[in-house]
Amino acid sequence: MASYMSELDHLVNPMSNHVISAEIHNQSVNSMALVSARLTAEAVEIVQMMVTNLLCLTAQAVDLRRLRNLAMEEADKLREQYPEATNLLEKTEWYDLMFLCDERIAALKEASGMQVTKETAEMMVYQRMRNIYKRTCNGDMDASKYMGKGTIRMYNFIRKELDIPFYFGQQAIDTWLGRLLTAVQSRSVEDVLFDIFTSV
């Protein structure tokens, strides 16, 4: 966003500093309308790219919030089922439990000298967290039912109509951003916004 804003700031600089007089200095001011229109078109495109990134990031943030809530709910259940894992659950952040679960499971399998009950409990914690994360990555987690009417309309437009999934490191993010940018430029997003505000 900062680089977009820098480019936008560059494009909105006044053209008056660059005016060159014509007709042997008889005409000191020339119309800058054409170049102003071209620069305005470039500025509009940058704003469209900023909106595209914002919409994509907002959908991702909504999914991550739902993922966090699922992890916290699961942690509460695990704390009751496996008291031996309480220390792990209290000292480890939810995202470490979820995103580093494969490495932790492998380390636990290789570890020696640990108490069997504690090792089993910790293994269960990581396996349960990994299952939640895999469900999210496979598109099985639908966060839309936890949203308001307006938010759900835009979320479903991005996730279902444009088919832009939860991002977890895939290489196709530029394709998805291109798809969303096309929707912004073709004013499909405006139709969604119109539906949101007329339905309230």
> pLDDT tens digits, residue range 149-171?
888 999 999 999 999 998 888 87
Tell me the pLDDT tens digit for each residue of 70-105: 888 888 888 888 777 777 778 778 888 777 777 776
For residues 198 and 66, what is the distance between their CA atoms, to the nearest angstrom?
27
pLDDT at 189 over 90: yes
* pLDDT value for 54: 94
Asked if 154 and 55 touch (Cβ cutoff 8 Å), the reply is yes
Average pLDDT over residues 52-81: 88
Chain centre distance of CA 87: 32
* pLDDT value for 23: 67
> Residues 6 or more apart from 183 whose CB is under 8 A from it?
157, 162, 189
Burial code of 117-128, b = ≥16 C-beta within 10 A, e = fewer? eebebbbebbeb
Q: Which residues pair with 22 in a beta bridge?
A: 27
Q: What is the pTM of this model?
A: 0.78
Q: What distances in angstroms separate CA 133 from CA 46, 59, 95, 137, 171, one per listed residue?
A: 34, 17, 10, 6, 18
* pLDDT value for 74: 85
Tell me the pLDDT tens digit for each residue of 10-30: 888 877 777 777 666 666 566
For residues 66 and 141, what is the distance between their CA atoms, to the nearest angstrom?
9
Q: What percent of the chain has pLDDT over 70?
A: 88
